Structure 1
Amino acid sequence: MRGILTVFAGPMFAGKSAHLLSDYPDDAATLCLAPAFDTRSGAQIKSRVGLSRAARSVSSWPEDFAAYRHILLDEGHFMIAPHYKGDVARDIERALDKGVNVTVAGLDTDYRREAFVVMDRLRALADHYVPLTARCHRCGAPAAWTAKKRPTGHLLETGDEDLYEARCDTHWQSPD
């Protein structure tokens, strides 16, 4: 039987990691993965609401994936070259074909409002796609966008409220 792919996507501060951690059991049959590129939380998935779980930091798909019933992958948008060796969408398809359920959380767009291709590909494969919104840091309205506060010259860059805000259509602007 084929596994089920669930994708939580949206801007920063939308609760993607919290869903990943609260909606799925913390047991030996579940493997948690975090991109090695994102060193902010160490070897764990961590949410802003205080939930956390130990995770394996990876830059390629784990060879022992079939030993698990469920794989949770946080920050899926970071799973691209040069930070990830391989094609994570194909790797996830391979896991699904082996009957492993996979749940991914990640940004759907970058700070320029351009789609992360890897997340678009996962959306197309998903059995369940859950779009999330945050609250605009300026006005409190529903926010679908991540805004960078200042230009840094980097497209892929880890950060938190020091560098990013959630913004609505009215308040989003490019830092460039």
Structure 2
Amino acid sequence: MFLEPHFSGQRSGWLEVICGSMFSGKTEELIRRLKRARIAGQHVAVYKPSIDTRYADERVVSHDSNSFQATPIAASARLLEVDDEVSVIGLDEAQFFDREVVKHVQELAYRGKRVIIAGLDMDFRGQPFGPMSDLLAVAEYITKVHAICSHCGNLATHSYRLTPDTDTVVLGERDQYEARCRKCFRMGNILDLR
């Protein structure tokens, strides 16, 4: 059962990180929180890496086709240009941002902003992905969401790549990735090495 962080009494800015494997609902949860903030009358700004054009250029889109207007940016320094009246900032696919994003989101929190960050915590090798481990370290609130393993039905924590590409960043969907539990992820990698 997911419990949303309780924010009563919190007067300064803070960081929330939503992490997990592919197909775990990270963007869905980000969009849910952003919609609730907008319903509450808060000014919201959403950003995504400009390299992520899988579904739409100027929207964050979940695998279930829910979406939210977003500004694509190539460098995380652009986050600091956010309008003063914005109180909630969303970042999707944070693993693709440069490492300076950690410094920039902390600056936004010091300015009193609520920053909600969604991203893959591990790459297809099972290693920390981009700046995500550092973002997890500095966040006040962390939510780890899980997919279902496509092989055994257990909770999935890993993104298993189905193609032979070895580049860390390979944008794709179900044709290139599966969600797998720790055991099935390891078993697949052992079989691939034969």
TM-score (norm 1): 0.90
Q: Which runs of 5+ in 1 are unaligned?
A: 81-85
Gaps of 5+ in 2: 1-10
2:148 pairs, out of 121, 135, 146, with 135
Is 1:50 aligned to 2:70, yes or no? no
Q: Deviation of residue 63 (structure 1)?
A: 4.1
Q: In 2, distance between residues paired with 1:24 and 1:53?
A: 8
Q: Would you say 1:35 and 2:49 are equivalent positions?
A: yes
Contact 1:136 1:142 in 2 (8 A): yes
Question: What SS does the corresponding residue of 1:131 show, helix, strand or coil?
Answer: strand
Contact 1:146–1:164 (8 Å) recurs in 2: yes
1:149 and 2:167 aligned: no
Residue 65 of structure 1 aligns with an amino acid whose one-letter code is V
Aligned match of 2:81 in 44, 50, 64?
A: 64
Using the alignment, how far apart are the partners of 1:171 and 1:94 within structure 2? 40
Whether the 8 Å CA contact 1:66–1:98 is kept in 2: the answer is: no
Question: Within 5 A, what are the aligned runs for 1:4-153?
Answer: 4-25=14-35, 27=38, 29-41=43-55, 42-60=57-75, 61-67=78-84, 68-80=86-98, 87-153=100-166
Q: Which amino acid aligns with 1:99?
A: G
User: Is the 1:33–1:57 Cα contact (8 Å) retained in structure 2?
Assistant: yes
Q: Distance in 2 between matches of 1:24 and 1:56?
A: 14
TM-score by length of 2: 0.82
- Match of residue 6 from structure 2: none
Q: Once structures 1 and 2 are overlaid, which stretch shifts more, 24-33 or 127-136? A: 24-33
How far off is 1:64 after superposition? Answer: 2.5
Overall identity of the aligned pairs, in %? 28
| Contact kept? 1:66, 1:100, Cα under 8 Å | no
Distance in 1 (CA, whole Å) between partners of 2:93 and 2:26 is 9
Assess, with a 3 A threshold, how the Cα gap between structure 1 residues 106 and 3 changes in structure 2: closer, same or farther. same
Structure (1/2) with the larger helix percentage: 2
- Give the total of aligned pairs: 171
3-state SS, counterpart of residue 24 of structure 1: helix
Contact 2:79-2:104 within 8 A present in 1 as well: no
- State the Cα RMSD in Å: 1.7
Q: Secondary structure at the match of 2:34?
A: coil
Instruction: Work out which of the residue numbers 153, 169, 176 in structure 1 matches 2:182.
Output: 169
Q: What code does the residue aligned with 2:49 have?
A: P
| Cα pair 1:33 1:58 within 8 Å, conserved | yes
Q: 1:50, CA displacement in angstroms?
A: 2.6
Deviation of 1:138 after TM superposition, in Å, equals 1.3
State how far apart, in whole Å, the 2-side matches of 1:117 and 1:20 are: 19
How far apart are residue 120 of structure 1 and its match?
A: 0.7
Decide which structure has the larger Cα Rg and report it: 2
